[in-house]
């Protein structure tokens, strides 16, 4: 599995011939969109910073779009969406937390989550997280300290902070890393196999944006 960051909450996850796009940036966003072909596109929140599914339709690839709670299976990927909320953009919105099972690993993508207090049934369903994507920028999403508290409580093996460029809270990434007591060098991409997770307990990985 190869994970790359394209700014904001936009990630590309590749495994074999399959490509996932998580919260692709729309051309109507103030953030810079990227174009590539995806097989599956996940949208957590209906906002131009996250709903640019047209940007990940390219060539012969037209993504299977998932944009809300429920259970889904496509191309060997099992996805569950859990209802939560977001205040991003200054108004209350539906936010969907996604659990993604592929290649024997479980990814959890929190999207534009505002509150660190998850429903107990959601927390229970998010058991055994290998990689957690958590927003840390404040201004409608989790603030750095709350983001780290929630991340630790979910007990993932790896934590990928997101939503810190152009964030509401200045130096959000620095504050998050201070909470974590870590200062990892940013990497351009994360190449991951199941065995690479052995011995990991809440290790922070900073993915540098490639846009």
Mean pLDDT by 10 residues, the chain (211 residues): 96 96 96 94 97 93 96 96 95 97 96 96 94 95 96 97 81 94 93 95 87 50
Give me 63's structure tokens.
């993504």
Do the Cβ atoms of 25 and 50 come closer than 8 Å? Answer: yes
The predicted structure's pLDDT at residue 157: 97
Question: How many CB atoms lie under 10 A from the CB of residue 179?
Answer: 18
Query: Is residue 211 situated within a structural domain?
Result: no
Handedness of CA 25, 134, 109, 37 (dihedral sign): positive
Do the Cβ atoms of 135 and 9 come closer than 8 Å? Answer: yes
Rounded to two decimals, the pTM is 0.95
Query: Cα 211 from chain centroid?
Result: 17
Question: How many CB atoms lie under 10 A from the CB of residue 206?
Answer: 20
The predicted structure's pLDDT at residue 101: 96
* Structural domain boundaries enclosing 160: 2-204
Give the integer Cα–Cα distance in Å for 173 and 136. Answer: 7
The predicted structure's pLDDT at residue 173: 94
Query: Is residue 189 situated within a structural domain?
Result: yes
The predicted structure's pLDDT at residue 127: 83
The HSE-up count of residue 197 (CA atoms within 13 Å, CB side) is 20
Number of compact structural domains in the chain: 1
The predicted structure's pLDDT at residue 170: 76
Query: Is residue 210 situated within a structural domain?
Result: no
Strands 105-109 and 131-135: parallel
The predicted structure's pLDDT at residue 53: 97
The predicted structure's pLDDT at residue 167: 66
DSSP of 118-157 = --HHHHHHT-S-SEEEEE---TTS--HHHHHHHHHHH--S
Query: Is residue 191 situated within a structural domain?
Result: yes
Phi, psi of 196 (to 5 degrees): -70, -15
Nearest to 137 by CA among 182, 175, 96: 175
CATH number of the structural domain spanning residue 117:
3.60.15.10
Do the Cβ atoms of 170 and 178 come closer than 8 Å? Answer: no
Query: Is residue 209 situated within a structural domain?
Result: no
Query: Is residue 94 situated within a structural domain?
Result: yes
């Amino acid at each position: 599995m190869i994970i790359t960051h394209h700014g904001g909450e936009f990630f590309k996850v590749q495994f074999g011939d399959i490509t996932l796009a998580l919260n692709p940036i729309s051309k109507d966003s103030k953030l810079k969109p990227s174009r590539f072909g995806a097989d599956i596109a996940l949208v957590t929140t209906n906002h131009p910073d996250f709903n640019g599914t047209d940007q990940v339709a390219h060539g012969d690839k037209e993504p299977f779009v998932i944009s809300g709670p429920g259970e889904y299976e496509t191309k060997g990927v099992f996805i569950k969406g859990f209802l939560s909320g977001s205040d991003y953009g200054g108004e209350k919105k539906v936010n969907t937390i996604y659990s993604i099972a592929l290649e024997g690993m479980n990814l959890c993508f929190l999207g534009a989550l505002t509150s660190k207090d998850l429903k107990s049934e959601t927390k229970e369903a998010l058991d055994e997280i290998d990689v957690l994507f958590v927003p840390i920028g404040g201004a409608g999403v989790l603030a750095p300290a709350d983001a780290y508290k929630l991340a630790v409580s979910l007990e993932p093996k790896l934590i990928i902070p997101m939503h810190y460029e152009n964030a509401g809270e200045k130096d959000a990434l620095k504050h998050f890393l201070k909470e974590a007591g870590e200062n990892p060098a940013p990497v351009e991409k994360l190449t991951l196999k199941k065995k690479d997770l052995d011995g990991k307990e809440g290790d922070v990985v900073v993915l540098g944006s490639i846009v």
